[in-house]
Structure 1
Amino acid sequence: MTALDAARLAAVISPLRRTLLGAAREAEHLPEIPDAQIEIIRALPRDTAGSPGELAGRLGLSRPTVSNLLTAMEANGLVERRPRPGDRRHVEVVATAKALDLFARFDRVSGDLVAAAADTLTDADRAALAAALPVLERLRDALAVPLRTP
C-alpha cells in the first residue's frame, strides 16, 4: 500500500488552482474576481435564486461575510438582490447575465488550458490523471463536509 503524502498533495492543489485561474484570466482577458465571489456565482446557476442566509450555509461562510461579498458583487454588476416573490420582507439573490457569461468563459478557457497542458504529458500521465479525477472529486466532497456541518 502506498502512503499518501497529504502535505505534498495540499502543496500542489492551491498553486495549481491559482495558476489555472491566472492563466484563464490572462487568456480570456477576464477581470479579477475573488475566489469567494466565484463560489457565490457557482452557487447561483442560471434561473436560480437563493437567500443570503442559504448562500452562507451552502458555502460555509458567515452571514456578514456573504453580505459584504454581495454588496461588492452588486456594485460590480455580478448579482442582483430583489424582494422574494410572495414575501417582500426577505431578499433573494440571482447572478446577473454578466456574471454567468464571465463564469462560462472562465470554465471554457480553463478546460481548454488544462486540455492543452495535458497534451504535453505522456499517455501514462494522462491516464493517471483520468483515473484520479473521481478520487479527487470524492476528496473535495470529503473536505467540504466540515464546512457544511454546523
Structure 2
Amino acid sequence: AAAGWPLSELFDRQFASWLDLDPALDATNRVPSILNGGLGKISPVYWGACLGAAAAIDLYGLRKKRSDPDYFPGKLGFDPLGLYPSTTTGKRRMELAEIKNGRLAMIAITGFAFQEFVQQYAVVDQTPLLFKPVSDVVETYGSIGGYGM
C-alpha cells in the first residue's frame, strides 16, 4: 500500500496523458492528500466506486463469517499462490505479519502526507537516490550542490 504513493508521483502524469485526463498531482508533483488540499481534483465517481468496492468486500467477509465457523478476519478464500501456511504456528505468524505490515503501511502513508505537507515538494524529489537514476542524481548534486531545494 505504501508503495502506491511514490509510484503515483512517478507515473501519474504519464498515465493521465495516455488516458487523456488531467494529472492528479499538483505543480510540485505532490500526491493529493487532506493536508495539501488536492483531494478536490479526484472525481466523486472514483470515491463512490472505492466506497462501493470496500463495502462489497466487507459484506462478502460478513457473509463468510456467518456461514463458515472457521472464519477469521482476512480469510476470504483468496490465496492463488498457496502461500498461507498449513501449520497452526505458521498460520499465527502469517496473521501477525499481516497485521504488522498493514499497520506499518498506514504509518508510512501518514508519514508521506506529513512529509509533503512540511517540505512542500514530492517524496520522490526528497529522496532521489531511491527513485531517480544514479547518473541524474550525481549530475544534479555536482551542479547545484543539493537536490530539490
TM-score by length of structure 2 reads 0.36
Larger radius of gyration: 2
TM-score by length of structure 1 reads 0.35
Q: Which has the higher strand share?
A: 1
Q: Which has the higher helix share?
A: 1
